Structure 1
Amino acid sequence: MTTITVATATLEGTAGPLADGVAHFTSASNGQSAFVVIDGMGHDPAIVDLVPAMARNAARAGARKGAVSGLLAAGEDVADPGPLTDDESRPDAVGAIVVTRPDGSVEVAWTGDTRVYHWNGRVLTLWTSDHNFAAYLNKSVGTAQSVPVGALADIVTLTLARISAYAVPLMCKAAGGLVIIASDGAYGQHDAEEPQRSLPEYQAEHLATLVRRHQDNPQALVEAIVAGARPDADGYRDDATALVVAWT
């Protein structure tokens, strides 16, 4: 019998109150489980207050109706956030959801730069592609080294406030091994002592090293992932959130 274990960890960044959310839920009606990470944009009170509910709502809707429905439920929360003060910008967020299916596969849906990785016991594979201007230019140019990733990664091209049922990327994958959902603050490590290496290359190698070391202990893995978040040259460090689903 297959057992599913879930582990989560979050580390608040340096810019203000935590604006990441994480949730998981199993439906009593169909037995499906949903796992969600939401990354709020900015740290205004409106988004800080909304993000925990967004994650819970996405997990509940996703477990009952599928991954796309889960993200759409989160999108509804930012579509009508209620009254805002003059100092608050309209709240928005990005996120990713993984939902188990009766046939043993999983659905994956996402927006923005929240990532979903898979570990098969040997190789770490990035399942998702970032929805930001850096990723778009990398694909167009054909080489990551030629694009100023750090400057363009924050220009997100698909957010939860902008999605519709026709604009949610969705894939189905075989379940098993480990699935990792991570906010950009969790996977966005950078080694300033190795400037000759590309940032995506370093991120992938760093995360794969952590997975190899902790693949048998999901809680230790998520804690190691968020603990590895590093500040930039100006001392800024983003919120870092990771969720791991393990099939044994």
Structure 2
Amino acid sequence: MRDLPHWHTASAQGPRKHNADAAGTYAAADGTGIVFALADGVGDHPNAAYAARTAVSAATRTAAGRGAVATVLAAQGAVLASGGPGDCVLVVAVRTDEGYGIAWVGDARAYAWDGYSVRQVTKDHTLAQYFRDHEQPVTPRMEHVVTTSVRTAGEHEIGTATVTTGGLLLTSDGVHKTLSGPTMLDILAMPDRAATELVRTAISLGGSDNATAIVVGPPGADLTTEKFRVAA
């Protein structure tokens, strides 16, 4: 049996009417498969929250052996089949023998961390990033316009990455668009409450969005698991 990593999830509602973030995890009893999923609903509406919960539920029910892209596609199928108009962005991490397979759409992020450094491994699917890639000027509004989502992405548009060592941090933009890399690393130095502190700090520093994080400890980290309050 493979040792299960320790993980910690937390979410806080920012100055919004609804917390449209969602997060979830499924771990096989024998330790052979673990799926982490974090979604952020597009818009401040119950439909967005429902889409995020639907995507996370479908992603974490997908067998880890199918891979990270298949996990995102399963989430897409569930959102499309739900009949609702809501949409969301999503990042998933699937544990493999080599580490973690990452897949994402939109601007939910994954970071690798080893207790000493934190490194972003996803690349935002936003209009701002598209313009940066083409060396064009960027306006603040572009940071909030996603170019892929669970509902709309084609399979070839799903981003992929691999993390081979250490732990993981998955965040909604309410965390990573408010906190700097050094601030996140300082908080990750408190592994027993890192997820809670990440979202609390993001909100307290004036974050304008909901904030959600999943912290997966690197080998040897002493993390605890906190009950996650699902989106309203």
State the TM-score bracket (shorter-chain normalisation). Answer: 0.7 to 0.9
Q: Deviations over 1:180-199 (max 9, x none)?
A: 00000112216xxxxxxxxx
Q: What code does the residue aligned with 1:244 have?
A: V
Letter in structure 2 aligned against 1:204 = G
**How many Å separate the matches in 2 of 1:138 and 1:50?**
29
Does residue 73 of the first structure (1) align with residue 46 of the second (2)? no
Secondary structure (helix, strand or coil) at the match of 1:4 reads coil
Q: What is the rounded CA distance, in whole Å, between the counterparts of 1:62 and 1:14 in structure 2?
A: 36
Cα distance, 1:37 vs structure 2: 0.3
What's the counterpart of residue 135 of structure 2? 141
Moved more, 223-232 or 70-79: 223-232
Q: Which residue number corresponds to residue 91 of structure 1? A: 86
> Cα gap change, 1:236/1:244 in structure 2, threshold over 3 Å: closer, same or farther?
closer
**1:62 Cα offset (Å):** 5.0
Task: Please tell me the residue identity of whatever aligns with 2:176.
Answer: Y
Deviation at 1:127, TM superposition (A): 0.5
Q: Does structure 1 residue 118 correspond to structure 2 residue 112?
A: yes
Cα root mean square deviation, aligned: 2.3
Shift of the 33–132 alpha-carbon distance from structure 1 to 2, 3 Å rule, reads same
Residue 213 of structure 2 is matched in structure 1 by 242
Match of 1:159 among 140, 149, 163: 149
- What percentage of residue pairs aligned between the two structures are identical? 25
Mapped to 2, the partners of 1:180 and 1:109 lie a distance apart of: 13
Native 8 Å contact 1:30 1:64 kept in 2: no
Q: Can you list the C-alpha shifts for 1:180-223, whole angstroms capped at 9, x where unaligned? A: 00000112216xxxxxxxxxxxx222222222x31x42xx1001
Q: Choose the corresponding residue for 2:195, options 198, 219, 222.
A: 222
Match of 1:180 among 169, 194, 198: 169
Looking at structure 1, the residues matched to 31 and 58 of structure 2 have their Cα atoms a distance apart, in angstroms, of: 17
Please, what TM-score do these two structures have when normalized by structure 1?
0.79
Structure 2 distance, partners of 1:116, 1:44, is 25
Structure showing greater Rg: 1
Provide closer, same or farther for how the CA distance between residues 167 and 27 of structure 1 changes in structure 2, counting only shifts above 3 A: farther
What 5-or-longer segments of structure 2 have no aligned partner? 220-232
Greater mean deviation of Cα atoms: 160-169 or 112-121: 160-169
Amino acid at match of 2:21: D
What is the CA deviation profile of residues 58-104 of structure 1, one whole-angstrom value per residue up to 9, with x for unaligned ones?
Answer: 1121524211111111112332332x6xxxxx311101000001x23
Asked if 2 retains the 8 angstrom alpha-carbon contact of 1:71 and 1:97, the reply is yes
Of 114-123 and 127-136, deviating more is: 114-123
Instruction: Please report how far the alpha carbon of residue 155 of structure 1 lies from its aligned counterpart in structure 2 after TM superposition.
Output: 1.0
Is residue 2:187 matched to residue 1:205? no
| Distance in 2 (alpha carbons) for counterparts of 1:175 and 1:147 | 34
**CA–CA separation in structure 2 for the residues paired with 1:231 and 1:139:** 32
* Gap regions ≥5 residues in structure 1: 85-89, 191-202
**How many residues are matched?**
218
TM-score, with length taken from structure 2 = 0.84
